[in-house]
Structure 1
């Protein structure tokens, strides 16, 4: 049987992990906020903000990513070592050509959702993820996602 202190500790841990879970509306709002920043300050300024590990575009499991239509990563709030790399041939854990699929959505629809499998930044396990992306600046898109 758990002591009162243990029960409180378990509740705090569970509460913290639940606080990282994003909703569909939060994801869409986060991306729209990024689009507005890019419109107001220009692409270079918003990419710099998206890449800032202490910036406002990293919130729990939400972080902004950006790619051009050649598959070059322009921003990745969770891992700056990826910025500048061409990930056109990147596959998710199930073999989905992830960046190519996202580029296709941006080019044909301007915005949309994609389901795939990705490493959870906190749990460090492959987890189903859904991302929302939106085209900006002609040949680039930004997005973020939530883990299911």
Structure 2
């Protein structure tokens, strides 16, 4: 009898373990399927571009393995898979001698091991050291002006080590990050609206971005500066509007009910509510205004 009970217990425990294992396996399967779906359908443009740069470098190395240094002429050919717009293949020696540089062929042969980026970072050494480490490849991030511009942009470059015979080369290709990620400083915002005693800068608004980029958002963020003692005109937004105070003090009136504004304060104004703001402090009142959907003139009604 005891033997039967023991066998029964063993069988029950086995069934439970199998059930748990099945659940864990099912959960793992679901996670893997979800990750595959994200990878196939929802990759962001930045990730896609990083993969493109890596693929271009790897393809260039494959061509070098096939044609040797004769591949260098292919890399210099404009409007080819190797060189178009701001995308190109660069080849260095491990000493930092620039062997292939399509944007400026006259710069080939120069030693650029001491090259620095816009902010003084040792770009040359960073590229060399990254490619010479054990795994032989990696990414380098730095600041560099786009062609024809003087102010820097964030650039991301993939570099990889390879060899032709006894000669070791570093092959790299990069891209400007802000072509794929919206990235702005307040002082860089050119779209500035002045009205009365306030300044408005549209930090981000998918309806007002002059660039070929699908932002995939339906909200906007604006930076308000209200001068000391100033009161903004009453208005109504057809959508909810959120204010977040960065600096200063003031009062936000919603249907004539006062709400204190101070640093770190957040207030949500309901849709279709009358509102106006008054700076009650001794410094400029700075705040963020967040609208969803993104701000458009037809959603705002200025009251007299």
Q: State how many pairs are aligned.
A: 126
Task: Using the TM superposition, name which of 119-128 and 28-37 deviates more.
Answer: 119-128
Whole-Å separation in 2 of the counterparts to 1:59 and 1:126: 21
SS at match of 2:64: helix
Whole-Å separation in 1 of the counterparts to 2:81 and 2:150: 23
Q: Residue 129 in 1 paired to residue 151 in 2? A: no
Find the partner of 1:46 among 48, 71, 92: 71
Q: How does 1:96-111 map to 2 (within 5 A)?
A: 96-108=121-133, 109-111=135-137
RMSD value over aligned CA atoms? Answer: 1.7
Whole-Å separation in 1 of the counterparts to 2:58 and 2:150: 27
| Structure 1 moving runs of 4+ over 6 Å | none
TM-score computed with the length of structure 1 as normaliser: 0.78
1:7 match:
none
Give the number of the structure whose residues are more often strand, by fraction.
Answer: 2
1:70 match:
95
Structure 1 residue 51, shift from structure 2 partner? 2.4
1:13 match:
none
Q: Residue 23 in 1 paired to residue 49 in 2? A: yes
Larger Rg: 2
Give the number of the structure whose residues are more often helix, by fraction.
Answer: 1
**Structure 1 unpaired stretches of 5+:** 1-21
CA offset digits 1:38-73 (Å, max 9, x no partner): 11111x112222223354311222111111011110
CA offset digits 1:11-36 (Å, max 9, x no partner): xxxxxxxxxxx711111111111011
SS at match of 1:67: strand
Contact 2:91–2:101, Cα closer than 8 Å, also in 1: yes
Q: How does 1:80-99 map to 2 (within 5 A)?
A: 80-99=105-124
1:114 match:
140
Contact 1:57–1:77, Cα closer than 8 Å, also in 2: no
**Structure 2 unpaired stretches of 5+:** 1-47, 178-304
Whole-Å separation in 2 of the counterparts to 1:119 and 1:79: 15
Contact 2:78–2:84, Cα closer than 8 Å, also in 1: no
2:271 match:
none
